[in-house]
Amino acid sequence: MFCYQCEQTAGGTGCTRFGVCGKSPEVAALQDLLVYALKGLSAVAVEARRQGISDGEVNRFTSEAAFSTLTNVNFDPERFPPMINKAVELRERLKEKVKEKAGAKKYPETALFKPEKTLDAMIKQGAMHGIMSDVDADADVHGLKWLLVFGMKGLAAYTDHAALLGQEDEAVYAFIHEGLAATLDPKKTVPEMYDLVMKCGAINLRAMELLDAGNTGHYGHPVPTKVPLGHMKGKALLVSGHDLMDLEKILRQSEGKGVYVYTHGEMLPTHGYPGLKKYRHFYGHYGTAWQNQHREFSQFPGAIVMTTNCIQKPQESYKDNIFTTGLVGWPGVTHIEDKDFTPAIEKALEMPGFKEDAPSKEVTVGFARNAVLGVAEAVVNTVKDKKIRHFFLVGGCDGAKPGRSYYTEFVEKAPRDTVVLTLACGKFRFFDKDLGDIGGIPRLLDVGQCNDAYSAVQIAVALAEAFGVG
């Protein structure tokens, strides 16, 4: 295997024996084969669009399948062969549609391959189609091609989340296919690949806009909300990942059953959504960042549901208590396929839960764009009065290695006349610190999940407009 798609990768160069994330060589090979199959499907989809054909099932499947190969999503080898076979099935069906309209077309070799029949044979086949199997003569072109692939995996994740909430855009699907197909072209130059990478960023902003519309359309705009970090006496169910719709279903299905629902990781900002915070048994937040789940999950006395990425190899102490759903998977872990979370709720009721109340400090979430721009005049006046000198944004995921305290030190040392906006799980190095306020404006503003980078962009744009700068 060879994988270097995350910043945790071995030695900072690449995982070659086993993934630092827990990915086995077998799963790595199957993911490589799925990406290879998606490139072939995309080549046909690009040709189909030239003929005015866009297939909704192909669009949705491509984003789902690409998302499943993202870091810390699906580690279950049994889940990949059906997706590989479906990619080929959809590819051939789309070819027939093109043929009916415009005659037979010539496609790259990737769009012609046939997957092997057995799991072991597929693993061997996948080992032939990994990152190092298609090294270009120009190392920069090769690097840009895979940077584009990794960028589109993230784009696919946001696209899939948005589609689940009814928000789709043909232009986003068209670019996912365009980008994947472009990586097959041996004639691509550095400038051409660079332009595609930059276009991926622009399209990703559109995908986040769609996701923002889906989240706020269903659950309202986040409002500043205090979230307890302690726990209540009683049965407990922990929800991790990013999927607001899964959380809503869990809250609805567990209502009135004597179970308190807690968030973990990037689910923390969900407490600010009016459509979710209305549930009285939606209590607080447990734990910190994804990389601490081994210690924190082993101490949680209830059931755990992983809704998207960020799962690590479950320890035996809680393997029977953890569930996956959607695209998440781990061998031997119960997977909830139909969004009926009864097994997780029943497990929570079986387990001891918290024996007593444990009050603790609170953190405030919900400073998305509407909350911040709703007091824009006060913010602008505070800046004009030179009471706020600078806005910093601390975003992204944090690493697991001990001593990685850069984020913490940065926020602690930020001058008292500056404001820190934060999103994604990098915040867990400092999310519970009291930085005070400036004229009633908190110095630490939690904008939301990594998905909510769109809100941060809108805040930045609004501030730029207010002050007449770029």
- Quickly list DSSP for 36-91: HHHHHHHHHHHHHHHTT---HHHHHHHHHHHHHTSTTSB--GGGHHHHHHHHHHHH
Q: In angstroms, rounded to a whole number, what is the distance separating the alpha carbons of residues 160 and 165? A: 9
Residue at 355 is within a domain: no
For the chain, how many structural domains are there in total?
Answer: 3
* φ, ψ of residue 334 in degrees (nearest 5): -60, 125
Q: What is the DSSP string of 97-163?
A: HHHHHH------GGGT----SSHHHHHHHHTTSSGGGG--SSHHHHHHHHHHHHHHHHHHHHHHHHH
pLDDT digits (tens, 9 = 90+) for 231-280: 999 999 999 999 999 999 999 999 999 999 999 999 999 999 999 999 99
Q: Is residue 166 part of a domain?
A: yes
Q: State the Cα–Cα distance between residues 23 and 334, nearest whole angstrom.
A: 18
Could you tell me if residue 138 is inside a domain? yes
Does the pLDDT value for residue 399 go beyond 70?
no
The confidence band for 309, taking pLDDT boundaries of 50, 70 and 90, is confident
- Tell me the mean pLDDT in the region 181-191: 94
* Whether residue 362 has pLDDT greater than 90: yes
Residues 124 and 21 both lie in one domain? yes
Please indicate, yes or no, whether residues 307 and 344 belong to a single structural domain of this protein. Answer: yes
Q: In this structure, are residues 60 and 195 in contact, taking their beta carbons and an 8 Å threshold?
A: no
Number of neighbouring beta carbons within 10 Å of residue 237:
28
- Tell whether 341 and 415 lie within a shared domain: no
pLDDT of residue 6: 86
Q: For residue 55, what are the CA distances in angstroms to 38, 52, 58, 97?
A: 14, 10, 5, 10
What is the DSSP-derived secondary structure letter of residue 354? B
* 383 in the same domain as 264: no
What gap in Å lies between CA 284 and CA 293, rounded to an integer?
17
CB neighbours of residue 417 within 10 Å: 13
Q: How far apart are CA 66 and CA 41, in angstroms?
A: 12
pLDDT of residue 332: 95
Residue type, 106: K
In a shared domain, residues 297 and 346: yes
In tens, the pLDDT along 92-102 reads 999 999 999 99
- Does residue 360 lie in a domain region? no
Domain contains 387: yes
Single residue among 315, 350, 385 that ends a domain in this structure: 350
Lowest-pLDDT choice from 154-163, 176-185, 377-386 = 377-386
In a domain, 345, yes or no: yes
Mark whether 245 and 319 lie in a shared domain.
Answer: yes
**339 with 389, same domain?**
no
Cβ-contact 40, 90 below 8 angstroms: no
461 lies in the same domain as 320? no
| Distance linking the first and last C-alpha atoms of the chain | 45
Domain of 427, in residue numbers: 368-467
Please report, for the domain that includes residue 448, its CATH number.
Answer: 3.40.50.2030
Supply the Cα-derived Rg of the chain in whole angstroms: 23
Q: In terms of domains, do 429 and 332 share one?
A: no
As a whole number, mean pLDDT of residues 212-225 equals: 96
Domain boundary among 218, 252, 284: 218
Q: Phi then psi for 69, rounded to 5 degrees?
A: -95, 0
Q: Which of 454, 266, 284 has its CA nearest to residue 370?
A: 454
For residue 429, what are its two tokens?
Answer: 């190095």
Per-residue pLDDT tens digits for 403-449: 778 888 999 999 999 999 998 888 898 999 999 999 989 999 999 99
177-198 burial code (b ≥16 CB/10 A, e <16): bbbbbbbbeeebeeeebeebbe
Q: Are 352 and 229 in contact (CB under 8 A)?
A: no
Q: What is the pLDDT of residue 278?
A: 96
Please report whether residue 359 resides in a domain: no
d(CA 432, CA 285): 12
> Are 250 and 304 within one domain?
yes
Look over the chain and give the mean of its residue pLDDT values, rounded to a whole number. Answer: 94
DSSP character for 443?
Answer: S
Running DSSP on this structure, what letter comes out for residue 268? G
Instruction: Calculate what percentage of the chain has a pLDDT beyond 90.
Output: 83
Read off the pLDDT band of 341 (50, 70, 90): very high
> pTM of this prediction?
0.94
User: How does pLDDT run across 37-60, given as a tens digit for each residue?
Assistant: 999 999 999 999 999 999 999 999
d(CA 361, CA 87): 49
Helical (H) or strand (E) element with 460 = helix 453-467
Asked if residues 299 and 315 have their Cβ atoms less than 8 Å apart, the reply is no
Q: Edge-to-edge, what's the strand order for the sheet holding 259-263? A: 282-285, 259-263, 235-240, 303-306, 322-325, 334-336
Among the listed residues 62, 60, 36, 47, the one whose alpha carbon sits nearest the alpha carbon of residue 96: 47
Is 75 buried (19+), middle (13-18) or exposed (0-12) by CB count in 10 A? buried
Nearest Cα neighbor of 341 from 290, 296, 297, 306 is 306
* 200 plus 240 within the same structural domain: no
Query: Which pLDDT does position 291 carry in this prediction?
Result: 84
Structural domain ending residue among the three candidates 218, 244, 274: 218
Residue 356 lies in a domain: no
Do 250 and 270 meet the contact criterion of CB atoms below 8 Å apart? no
For the chain, what's the residue count?
A: 470
pLDDT over 70, % of the chain: 99
pLDDT in the model for residue 329 = 97
CATH number of the domain enclosing 115? 1.20.1270.20
pLDDT category, 11, cuts 50, 70, 90? confident
Asked if 425 contacts 450 with a C-beta cutoff of 8 angstroms, the reply is yes
Looking at the structure, do residues 427 and 401 belong to the same domain, yes or no? Answer: yes
Q: Per-residue confidence at 155, pLDDT binned at 50, 70, 90?
A: very high
